[in-house]
A and B are shown apart, each in its own frame.
Chain A
């Protein structure tokens, strides 16, 4: 089955701790994205990567970091500098020069 996976589905962390969210795709897509979704809000772009070993900041990159060492993987680290990290995090991918995005199931992060 081709698709995009995120793990874990639920994540709890103490305030001040860094946490890494996993995103893997086997769709052979070049581009990958991280979004944050808060209740009543749309998806806000955190980071995106259009090719391996390259990534760009989105609209709300502060307090987050990413890496893109492999085409299939685009992990997101939520650092202690992120002031309000509790949210639903969505990873997506798309083919080269394609607009349609394929989303993972999401990770709900709760910082206690």
Chain B
């Protein structure tokens, strides 16, 4: 069955550094990958979507890459700030389906 996996260990980085989060999938290449931010006790908020035929997408300090060879998406936050501390969820949508499957999320902690 199709799975989507994110590192369960929290990522701790120093303010100003680039944070890189990983999302791996098995078997079939998703048509779309999405990234969401979730703060404690709140609903996720959409950040970026990348299509299968796109290698990279950017939005302000955020960058997402999609490598179908490695079956992986990387999510980068440059010049990270303590306010970026949150859990980041990856979600995949297979071709023909608008319903995403979410990963467990990776917690990011940015230290001042």
Q: A residues bordering B, Cβ < 8 Å?
A: 31, 33, 35, 40-43, 45, 48, 88, 90, 92, 94, 97-106, 108
A residues in contact with B99, CB < 8 Å:
33, 45, 48
User: What A residues does B104 contact at CB under 8 A?
Assistant: 40-42
| Complex partner residue of A42 from B34, B45, B89, CB under 8 angstroms | B89
Quote the shortest CB–CB distance from B77 to chain A (angstroms).
19
Q: Which of B4, B43, B103 has the most chain A CB atoms inside 10 A of its CB?
A: B43
> How many B residues touch A, CB cutoff 8 Å?
21
A103 with B44, Cβ < 8 A, contacts A42-B102, A48-B99 known = yes
Determine whether B112 belongs to the interface, using a CB cutoff of 8 Å to chain A: no
CB of B28 within 8 Å of the partner chain: no
Is B43 touching A98 in the complex (CB atoms < 8 A)? no
Interface, chain B (partner A; CB < 8 A): 4, 8, 32, 34, 41-46, 49, 89, 93, 98-105
**Least CB distance, B105 to chain A, in whole angstroms:** 6
- Is B8's CB under 8 angstroms from A103's CB? no
Given A106-B42, A106-B43, are A99 and B102 neighbors across the interface (CB < 8 Å)?
A: no
B100 partner residues in chain A, CB cutoff 8 A:
99, 101
Q: Which of A33, A40, A101, A105 contacts B46 (CB 8 A)?
A: A101
Q: Which residues of A contact B8 (CB under 8 A)?
A: 40
Quick one: closest B residue to A10, CB to CB?
A: B41
Chain A residue nearest to B34 (CB atoms) is A99
Q: Are A103 and B43 in contact (CB under 8 A)?
A: yes
Question: Which residues of B sit under 8 angstroms from A102, Cβ to Cβ?
Answer: 46
Instruction: Determine the residue in chain A with the shortest Cβ distance to B4.
Output: A42
Contact residues in A for B89 (Cβ distance below 8 Å): 42-43
For B6, the closest partner residue in chain A by CB is A42
